Structure 1
Amino acid sequence: MLTVLMLVTGVAALLLAAWCGWAAYRDQPTKDWHFIGMAVVLVAALVQLVTGIVLLARGEKPEQGTTIFVAYLLGAFACVPAAGLMSLSERTRWGSVTVAAAGVVLAVLEVRLYDIWGG
């Protein structure tokens, strides 16, 4: 189950990155639709965070350690909201670039989470 969540979250993050990257290419700031996309990715990250914590509470252990796994889970959850706040303060194309970069970072964090869990 955690692998499917990691895959879904990573793909959604890459789609968000491509969408905001296209907006940046067209010299547009983030718009309301982009924030809806960020919310969708955030919900996926929240489901992943809760699922990871439940798995840890049931006694399952990541291959590379619980502390680093929880740290990556929290970082993955905080990545998109932090970029969204930064894009609100920068209402130019660079706000879209920030969200696009956060989408790529989140996708990379998902790959790392997969490795930490033992995939």
Structure 2
Amino acid sequence: MLDALTAVIAAAGLVLALWCGFAALRDQPTKDWHLIGMAVVALLAVAQLVVGVVELGRGEKPEQGTTVFVAYLVAALACVPVAGFMSLAERTRWGSVTAAAGGVVLAVLELRLFDIWGG
């Protein structure tokens, strides 16, 4: 797995969390710019899913098991879009808090993916 891509996605998740958290502190809901940021982070997660599947197809094996690795890849792919949809349903500052939480969860999942792969 590409360690640099994992680090970039974790950093992007934290930046997204800070950005949405700042909006929550200012008592603002998620805006279109936040959703665009979430889409960019989600696209990075799609790239990681593709890289992970290609690595598995080439015969590489994660240290802690393929099933756990794939489950974490799918969870990393889903967490930001799910948080984005939930933030759209709650058009208050709590929507921004939800989006920020999605960014933090993504960063934690990326750290765990790094550990599962054998980093």
TM-score with structure 2 length normalisation? 0.99
Which residue number in structure 2 is paired with residue 91 of structure 1?
A: 91
Cα distance in 1, alignment partners of residues 83 and 111 from structure 2:
20
| Gap runs ≥5 in structure 2 | none
Give the residue type in structure 1 aligned to 2:30: T
Give the residue type in structure 2 aligned to 1:52: G
Which residue number in structure 2 is paired with residue 39 of structure 1?
A: 39
Which residue number in structure 2 is paired with residue 49 of structure 1?
A: 49
Percent identity between matched residues is: 72
Segments of 4+ in structure 1 off by > 4 A?
none
Give the residue type in structure 1 aligned to 2:79: C
Give the residue type in structure 2 aligned to 1:15: V
Cα distance in 2, alignment partners of residues 84 and 67 from structure 1:
26
Cα distance in 1, alignment partners of residues 72 and 84 from structure 2:
19
SS of the counterpart of 2:91? coil
Deviations 1:26-49 (A, max 9, x none): 000000000010011001100000
Cα distance in 2, alignment partners of residues 34 and 91 from structure 1:
13
Written as runs of structure 1 = structure 2, the 5 A alignment for 1:1-119 is: 2-119=2-119
Cα distance in 2, alignment partners of residues 81 and 103 from structure 1:
10
SS of the counterpart of 1:41? helix
How big is the alpha-carbon RMSD for the aligned residues of Structure 1 and Structure 2? 0.6
Post-superposition shift, 1:2? Answer: 1.5
Cα distance in 2, alignment partners of residues 4 and 46 from structure 1:
15
SS of the counterpart of 1:61? coil
Give the residue type in structure 1 aligned to 2:110: E
TM-score with structure 1 length normalisation? 0.99
Cα distance in 1, alignment partners of residues 45 and 82 from structure 2:
13
| Gap runs ≥5 in structure 1 | none
